[in-house]
């Protein structure tokens, strides 16, 4: 297990936790070039053109268009070597940006185009995790979609097989196009997840309304990816508050996918003020052109997030992390 370094060189205010970080959304120009070189995959020679391909454009209409940006990163992650190296490179990069604990998520079924099985993909990612100095764990994403029920079940079986309390696969998730494939369709899948006792988080309330979050909570989710739209139904806000559900919020992603039509109405601060367990995360830093440090600065500048509130966000993240009490204690010592 990677010990958490003391990162004495990182100023206290610049130490973060990222609970919501997609591997395929974190391939920066530098990482993409290394992965392409490894596989002799041609990429545009100039960084500006490559960056344009890897990042979302300012006129992005919605989550569906945002998700189309993943085709290139996914195409670079189809061999065990590339996937393992991506986990190492992305983890090292976010560590250099001040992240002291991260939960890196990916969908094994998105990495089978070149002949890997989902299990090969999980093993490759675990291999990469061993090579980074970042303290990190893996979350396996099931995907919203049609005709992939068997693949999602396989992901859940793999999560069960490789589940550990820390230092590997620690949870599952549901990702993908929420507006196209409603949460209700995943009831059976998550009954299995619960039956197996696998911790899980769940993308909801991002491109669909509060009902999606209510269903995910009823499935047993203790953490929700985004949850932005719950303000539309005070009853769901109350449910989230009463059950202590943790919201993994990702402001730049939410702005780019138009989770709220106008960021002036972004409910992050009101959720925090109402005592909901909010955390601050990146989602897809390379696609969005952001880092977690950037997200903190954005929230400070735009919404007046204070240092005291930042401590609350970090405390929430530590409480909600899919890891052991010993790791949480160490994180509290470091960050609070």
Point out which residues bind Zn ion (CB under 5 A). 225, 283
Task: Choose among 292, 327, 329, 330: nearest CA to 313.
Answer: 292
Interaction of residue 248 with ligand ADE, rule CB under 6 A? no
Distance CA 194, CA 28 (A): 35
- The tokens describing 30, both together, are 């530098």
* Residue whose CB is less far from ligand ADE, 69 or 95: 69
What, of Zn ion, ligand ADE, none, does residue 85 touch, CB below 5 to 8 Å by kind?
A: none
What, of Zn ion, ligand ADE, none, does residue 123 touch, CB below 5 to 8 Å by kind?
A: none
Q: Minimum CB separation from ligand ADE for residue 242, in Å? A: 26
Interaction of residue 135 with ligand ADE, rule CB under 6 A? no
148: left (phi over 0), alpha (psi -120 to 50) or beta: alpha
Q: Minimum CB separation from ligand ADE for residue 56, in Å? A: 10
Interaction of residue 25 with ligand ADE, rule CB under 6 A? yes
Interaction of residue 283 with ligand ADE, rule CB under 6 A? yes
Which single residue brings its beta carbon nearest to Zn ion? 283
* Residue whose CB is less far from Zn ion, 123 or 249: 249
Q: DSSP per residue over 284-329, as a string?
A: SHHHHT--HHHHHHHHHHHH---HHHHHHHHHHHHHH-SS-HHHHH
- 279 beta partners: 248
Q: DSSP per residue over 31-91, as a string?
A: HHHHHHHHHT----SSHHHHHHHHS--TT--SHHHHHHTTHHHHHT--SHHHHHHHHHHHH
**Cβ contacts of residue 179 below 8 Å, gap of 6+?**
62, 63, 64, 207, 208
Angle, CA of 85, 58 and 113, to the nearest 5°: 35
Number of continuous H segments (helices) and E segments (strands) in the chain: 16, 8
* Residue whose CB is less far from ligand ADE, 253 or 316: 253
Q: For ligand ADE, which residue of 284, 295, 314, 334 counts as binding (CB under 6 A)?
A: 284
What, of Zn ion, ligand ADE, none, does residue 154 touch, CB below 5 to 8 Å by kind?
A: none
Which single residue brings its beta carbon nearest to ligand ADE? 175
Interaction of residue 15 with ligand ADE, rule CB under 6 A? no
* Residue whose CB is less far from ligand ADE, 15 or 203: 203
Interaction of residue 20 with ligand ADE, rule CB under 6 A? no
Interaction of residue 206 with ligand ADE, rule CB under 6 A? yes
Per-residue mark of binding to ligand ADE, 61-90 (x: CB under 6 A): --x---------------------------
Q: Minimum CB separation from Zn ion for residue 284, in Å? A: 7
Interaction of residue 281 with ligand ADE, rule CB under 6 A? no
User: Residues with catalytic annotation?
Assistant: 206
**Cβ contacts of residue 46 below 8 Å, gap of 6+?**
none
**What CA–CA distances, in Å, run from 293 to 14, 96, 174, 311, 326?**
7, 11, 26, 14, 26
Q: For ligand ADE, which residue of 155, 252, 253, 282 counts as binding (CB under 6 A)?
A: 253
Residues that bind ligand ADE (CB under 6 A): 22, 25, 63, 175-176, 203, 206, 253, 283-284
């Amino acid at each position: 297990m990677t010990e958490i370094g003391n990162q004495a060189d990182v100023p206290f205010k610049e130490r973060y936790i990222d609970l919501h970080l997609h591997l395929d959304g974190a391939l920066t120009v530098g990482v993409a070039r290394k992965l392409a070189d490894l596989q002799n995959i041609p990429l545009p020679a100039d960084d500006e053109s490559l960056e344009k391909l890897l990042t979302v454009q300012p006129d992005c209409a919605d989550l569906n268009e945002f998700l189309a940006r993943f085709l290139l990163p996914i195409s670079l992650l189809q061999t065990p070597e590339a996937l393992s190296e991506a986990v190492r490179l992305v983890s090292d990069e976010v560590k250099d940006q001040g992240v002291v604990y991260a939960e890196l998520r990916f969908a094994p079924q998105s990495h089978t185009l070149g002949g890997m099985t989902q299990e090969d993909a999980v093993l490759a990612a675990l291999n990469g995790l061993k090579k980074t100095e970042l303290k990190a764990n893996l979350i396996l994403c099931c995907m919203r979609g049609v005709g992939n029920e068997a693949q999602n079940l396989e992901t859940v079986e793999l999560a069960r097989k490789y589940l550990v309390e820390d230092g590997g696969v620690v949870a599952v998730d549901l990702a993908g196009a929420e507006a196209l494939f409603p949460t209700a369709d995943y009831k059976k899948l998550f009954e299995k997840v619960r039956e197996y006792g696998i911790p899980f988080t769940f993308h909801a309330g991002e491109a669909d309304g509060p009902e999606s979050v209510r269903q995910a909570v009823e499935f047993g989710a203790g953490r929700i990816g985004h949850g932005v739209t719950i303000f539309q139904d005070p009853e769901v806000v109350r449910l989230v508050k009463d059950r202590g559900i943790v919201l993994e919020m990702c402001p730049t992603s939410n702005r780019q996918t138009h989770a709220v039509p106008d960021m002036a109405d972004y409910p992050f601060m009101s959720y925090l003020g109402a005592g909901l367990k909010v955390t601050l995360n990146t989602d897809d830093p390379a696609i969005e052109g952001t880092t977690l440090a950037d997200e903190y600065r954005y929230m400070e500048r735009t919404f007046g997030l204070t240092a005291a509130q930042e401590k609350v966000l970090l405390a929430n993240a530590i409480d909600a992390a899919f890891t052991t009490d010993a790791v949480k204690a160490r994180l509290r010592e470091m960050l609070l």
